Amino acid sequence: MGNQYTAHQPDSRGFIDYSREEHATWQILIERQLPCLAGRACAEYQAGLDLLDLPRDRIPQLGEINAVLTPCTGWSVVAVPALISFDRFFALLANRQFPVATFIRRRDELDYLQEPDIFHEIFGHCAMLTNPAFADFTHTYGQLGLSASKEERVFLARLYWFTVEFGLLDTPAGLRIYGGGILSSIGETAYALSETPRRTPFELQDVLRTPYRIDIMQPLYYVLPSLDSLYSLTRDEILAQLAQARQLGLFSPLYPPKPMQAAS
């Protein structure tokens, strides 16, 4: 990632001082994204967003998010550098702490950023963490990852990708989004529910065997029947399916290989 973005360090009171430009970027992102989510985001996300009551004209402080999250589900958010190790990531989730990189994208990268920034983390993920079923699944996932081998973590990454980041939900009102990677992306919010991508019912072993690329619109989404069905996945069941997935191997990718970059 280089030195393109540097996370802000909280002061002794936990306060992060953002610039006027950074607050303005937040306002652009949130005010253009909110109207796009009507009729697309799941009811659980909308309920969480109402609870968080995020400011429009400034980046919220992490303490404001925790004042809502902790009473709801025992979760909190923690400031981290732009990138953290898998060990740290899983340890935080296992402790019901969600890592938030405390920088925001530049104006010339409003539509897409490979590294998760504070808008993605707070607007995309924190509303769902007010939901007990989703919060419990994320906690279980962290516990699993903490004790998993390096090889197992690669498979577990796919489970996170196709649920927490890019999951869809089948509801009586129709398909709805619960994945934070979609909910924080103006392009993918419309694309995910369009006729272009494939959508298929969530099957744990299929998810564990599905390769993905982070830098394209997803060619395939997995659809859960309910958020409760996500939490009903026990640690033992996930590990058993993971062992089988490793034996069976990966599905063929539904996307072209990443173009080779010329050596500089």
- Please give the annotated binding residues for Fe cation, written as ranges: 120, 125, 165
Q: Which residue in the list 22, 44, 76, 125 is annotated as catalytic?
A: 125
CB 132 within 8 A of CB 96: no
The answer to whether residue 8 is catalytic is no
Annotated binding site: 120, 125, 165
Structure tokens at 170: 């089948």
Q: Which residue in the list 22, 44, 184, 185 is annotated as catalytic?
A: 184
The answer to whether residue 23 is catalytic is no
Scored b (16 or more CB within 10 A) or e, 136-174 reads: bbbbbbbebbbebeeebbebbebbbbbbbbbbbbbbeee
The answer to whether residue 264 is catalytic is no
Angle between helices 150-160 and 235-248 (to 10 degrees): 110
The answer to whether residue 12 is catalytic is no
Q: Which residue in the list 8, 120, 185, 188 is annotated as catalytic?
A: 120
Q: Which residue in the list 121, 152, 165, 188 is annotated as catalytic?
A: 165
**Residue that is written with structure tokens 């953290």 in the block:** 84
Nearest 5 degrees, angle CA 35-CA 5-CA 11?
90
Question: Distance between the two ends of the chain, CA-based, in angstroms?
Answer: 16
Structure tokens at 182: 């979609």
Catalytic residue positions, numbered: 120, 125, 165, 184
